[in-house]
Structure 1
């Protein structure tokens, strides 16, 4: 019976092959969500090895951060863009959990990130959440938490205002668009905590900066940032 199920699974995969969301290649036996070639060869940043990396520099003089990280470089038309498109708009939530696990494996060896008490995803407005059905940053956060032994708190930082899309806006316009957008519902739960704030893609950092400004109003809070990708 087990052999028969195996033959049936092979037959179904021939008719309806699972495709890697990054490169479009058919997944073979023992490959899960992302093909082996992409797992090894997507453009990793290795920012966890660089305290003074280019993403961290975006926040200098704006908010006080302990460390900043992105798993991949994001280039228009590249494989990471395809991966993120499937994750955010095709409903493949498992991508976020997998990437969170992969990022967490790197970060658990870092003496700053592995001290995070709480992981807080950048929130979606309730109207956007209803439309999409899930927050991609929460999926990523859940995967990270499994490796970092931290708790995901996704109901405290809230987006009070639905903002217009950030695409094609300048850095100043992006920051202006994010003013007074976020609020912390239960600040007392974050006092003296090391918070890892996570998002999917960082470009100018304006969204993360706006979140950070609110979080850092809380006494004793230390802030680190992790994202799936950095858009160059």
Structure 2
């Protein structure tokens, strides 16, 4: 006798035994919710920096590097939901978080004339040892989501990390800056000549990593540079 199983019943049974939880708030995801619950999608602390040219992130780089625009999707606070989200994204193998947040951010940036003119989206690269350990580059996941909403294409292997660095956590602003000196290089600068590049990372704090990436990029003739991150941490 053949027993026919309704796939929706099977899915319901599996979710009962192994409920999917929102990585931001920890609540169980209900039917049709994917990755992040609906409440968190609407209520995480968005910055709206795409509406403010001289926002906090942009001001961090004044007098250091020449930027067209800068943006972060969320405010990051210790112990908050965004920190929970980023922890699952970076350390719990939930790469799909980056894609989803990229689409959310991309929808905002597509309505901004400056960001809408991006030619290439370049994620901050991981050193190969860190990439092997983590299994994916979280900034590249974010970039892929952005590219679904923006016209720019992801250029992942042009900006490279030429040496590994120690974690930036618990370092002072000056120590972070020194730690990132001469870490990045561009393999094919000609491809980026006269292009608008969007440099993306997961979190911006002091901006040392993004500044170190920007230095070799801005040596390219005619290159215009903008920055986007998932979160801004004061």
TM-score normalised by L of structure 2: 0.97
Structure 1 residue aligned with 2:121:
119
Deviation at 1:143, TM superposition (A): 0.3
Structure 1 residue aligned with 2:228:
226
Deviation at 1:170, TM superposition (A): 1.1
Listed as ranges, the gaps of 5+ residues in structure 1 are none
* Pairs within 5 Å for 1:18-57: 18-57=20-59
TM-score normalised by L of structure 1: 0.98
Listed as ranges, the gaps of 5+ residues in structure 2 are none
Deviation at 1:196, TM superposition (A): 0.1
C-alpha separation in 1, matches of 2:13 and 2:136: 32
Structure 1 residue aligned with 2:133:
131
C-alpha separation in 2, matches of 1:193 and 1:172: 31
Q: What CA deviation, in whole Å up to 9, does each residue of 1:37-80 have, x standing for no partner? A: 10000000000000010110000000000000000000011100
139, 144, 161: which is aligned to 1:159?
Answer: 161
Runs of 4+ with deviation above 4 angstroms = none
C-alpha separation in 2, matches of 1:6 and 1:166: 46
Deviation at 1:92, TM superposition (A): 0.8
Structure 1 residue aligned with 2:112:
110
140, 144, 165: which is aligned to 1:142?
Answer: 144
Aligned length in residues: 232
Deviation at 1:3, TM superposition (A): 8.2
User: Would you say 1:205 and 2:207 are equivalent positions?
Assistant: yes
Structure 2 residue aligned with 1:100:
102
